[in-house]
């Protein structure tokens, strides 16, 4: 799955666009919502929490310097 900066900004705005909700929070909530809505059959076993790991390496040198390791 891949999201552009514009898509993430819009998602953050739709989630309230406040300092209390980060873009990462909005993205996690959106992914959990989609999984619960479209993939799970039993509402009693829905996902309530998720961890999203991001790898910026090799995407662009504007995000991280070449050779920088941070996930």
Q: What is the pLDDT of residues 44-67, one digit of tens each?
A: 788 877 776 666 555 665 655 565
Q: What is the pLDDT of residues 3-17, one digit of tens each?
A: 888 999 999 999 887
Please state the pTM of the whole predicted model: 0.60
Spell 27-50 as b/e; 16+ CB within 10 A means b.
Answer: beeeebeeeeeeeeeeeeeeeeee
Domain ranges of the chain: 1-64
């Amino acid at each position: 799955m891949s999201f552009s900066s514009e898509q993430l900004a819009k998602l953050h705005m739709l989630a309230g666009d406040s300092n209390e909700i980060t873009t990462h929070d909005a993205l996690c909530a959106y992914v959990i919502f989609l999984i619960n809505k479209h993939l799970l059959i039993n509402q009693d076993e829905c996902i309530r929490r998720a961890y999203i790991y991001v790898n910026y390496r090799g995407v662009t040198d504007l995000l991280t310097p070449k050779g920088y390791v941070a996930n």
